[in-house]
Structure 1
């Protein structure tokens, strides 16, 4: 199974850590209030895991495809 990252937007602070660490996968939404996954396969699982660990809200999670 392929792991796909997702963000629980109701828990996201909008700090932007994930965007700094993995900009190919995450970006801030148009309003800039929360992050979103834009291309889950654009970077390595290790990079996404690093973004997960840097998230103060712990709102980035894995789902199985």
Structure 2
């Protein structure tokens, strides 16, 4: 066992392109809910993922490893 192995990341960085009006909407939504822009985007994606049956299957498959 390699004692110098890096732990798995808790989060990963992702660069995306969105329309200016989407960014403005996200910024307003983040400000209204007292979140950072990053936290607001993550919250929206997590809610969307939880609502999709395919995401539940993927989550169950990865958690059983």
Same structural fold, with TM-score higher than 0.5 when normalized by the shorter chain: no
More helix by share: 2
Higher relative contact order (CA 8 A, sep 6+): 1
Q: Structure 2-normalised TM-score?
A: 0.25
More strand by share: 1
Q: Structure 1-normalised TM-score?
A: 0.25
